[in-house]
Amino acid sequence: MLAEILTFGDELCRGEIIDTNSSWLAAELWDLDITCTWMTSCRDVAEDMRQALRQAVTRADVVVCSGGLGPTEDDLTVDVVAELAGTGPETHRPSLERMEARYAAAAYRPTPNTLRQVRAPAGARVHDNPAGAAPGFEVSLGGVPVLCVPGVPREMKAIFDSALRARLVELRDRGAGPGAAREHIARRIYRVFGQGESQIASQLEGLLDGAAGAAGATLHYQVSFPEILVKVVVRDPDAAAAAARLAELDRAVRARLGDWCYGEDADSLAAALGRALLARGLTLATAESCTGGLAGGLITAVPGSSSIPPPSSDTARSARSARARWRPASARAAAPTSPCR
């Protein structure tokens, strides 16, 4: 199933805020075996929004929109979507009643434009907002489901978690549009440290050329300092077949990467280091300058890191003595002035 994410807002197109909603939504869709093929941001201009929506429904099986559901005149999502659906906006009574109850409890008198937040296109499937006033909603444009949520990240996530995730699974499983047959995705991330991206790509060159399980598989690279992530994605209509093909490729990838690959998926360098220390019964001491304890924080953030034996008192004294010796003579003679000390 293919998806497009649309985000509306002048502030996005002016670079005043970073569009974190699209990346969060894309990750959630990916976890549901829904592939986001396009991300589009446009201004709070009705014609721009119309054009973006018309184009999105021609190339996606489902469209998820974020933004433009607030109380001001430039919040146009309800109006534009309703127009394209051949209907008009209407007040969602349950959302209005919840908003009125909250305002009454706070002794707050709403302004007339506040009512814009509790509208939806007439006939839309409405998704309640457990974290705010504006509800989410769903309409069909050209036979393609278009799901709209507020742009406030907290509210967007609340509606997604309470309603949209289950709805998207329902749409995925039944097939929402042309070419939307259920597709199962098996994937794995290999974490590589000590080699550059070009070196790793050279080692894996030709991996998918006729290898067992390689039909329809794809290979991807991501630099995530200080490591490189190698990602293998396998798509198949059958979940068991996708998993079996990934297992075949897994053996080939590991054989080529060798010991440069220290872990996979959600593993981390700090966790791998902790496992190695525990397996060998080794201790660990850190000496940091101007890092704010970054190295120590990375290590101790791993559950179970307290099992790593601390260094002996003699080792600790030696480390303190060595740290003093490493300071330049000028630094030892002068009064400390560095903000990092």
Q: Is there a domain that residue 276 lies in?
A: no
Domain final position from 205, 229, 264: 264
Q: Is there a domain that residue 279 lies in?
A: no
The dihedral of CA 212, 213, 218, 219: what is its sign?
negative
Residues 194 and 309 in one domain: no
335 pLDDT band, cuts 50/70/90, is very low
Joined together, the tokens standing for residue 302 give 């791993």
The dihedral of CA 221, 222, 224, 226: what is its sign?
positive
**Most confident by average pLDDT, 71-75, 266-270, 301-305, 328-332:** 71-75
Distance, CA of 93 to CA of 76 (rounded, Å): 20
Domain that holds residue 225: 184-264
Contact by Cβ (8 Å): 84, 6: no
Q: Is there a domain that residue 93 lies in?
A: yes
The number of distinct structural domains making up the chain is 3
Q: Which residues pair with 40 in a beta bridge?
A: 6
- DSSP label at residue 147: E
Residues 104 and 221 in one domain: no
Residues 300 and 328 in one domain: yes
Q: Is there a domain that residue 28 lies in?
A: yes
Q: Is there a domain that residue 26 lies in?
A: yes
Domain final position from 131, 146, 174: 174
Q: Is there a domain that residue 280 lies in?
A: no
Joined together, the tokens standing for residue 166 give 């289950």
**What is residue 178's predicted lDDT score, i.e. its pLDDT?**
52
Residues 239 and 321 in one domain: no
Residues 87 and 190 in one domain: no
**What is residue 327's predicted lDDT score, i.e. its pLDDT?**
45
With CA atoms as reference, report the closest residue to 190 among 155, 228, 143, 139: 228
Residues 190 and 163 in one domain: no
CATH classification at residue 256: 3.30.70.2860
Residues 125 and 8 in one domain: yes
332 pLDDT band, cuts 50/70/90, is very low
In this predicted model, which residue has the larger pLDDT, 295 or 3?
3
CATH classification at residue 97: 3.40.980.10
Domain final position from 174, 201, 229: 174
**What is residue 278's predicted lDDT score, i.e. its pLDDT?**
87
Q: Is there a domain that residue 278 lies in?
A: no
310 pLDDT band, cuts 50/70/90, is low
Residues 197 and 74 in one domain: no
Distance, CA of 261 to CA of 279 (rounded, Å): 18
Q: Does the pLDDT of residue 128 top 90, yes or no?
A: yes
How far CA 36 is from CA of 149, 151, 220, in Å, comes to 17, 18, 16
Q: Is there a domain that residue 104 lies in?
A: yes
Q: Which residues pair with 219 in a beta bridge?
A: 232
When the pLDDT of each residue in the chain is averaged and rounded to a whole number, the result is 87
Contact by Cβ (8 Å): 140, 85: yes
Residues 237 and 316 in one domain: no
Residues 152 and 295 in one domain: no
Residues 116 and 38 in one domain: yes
How far CA 181 is from CA of 27, 34, 175, in Å, comes to 20, 11, 5
Q: What is the pLDDT of residues 67-98, one digit of tens each?
A: 999 999 999 999 999 999 999 999 999 999 99
Residues 15 and 135 in one domain: yes
Q: Does the pLDDT of residue 27 top 70, yes or no?
A: yes
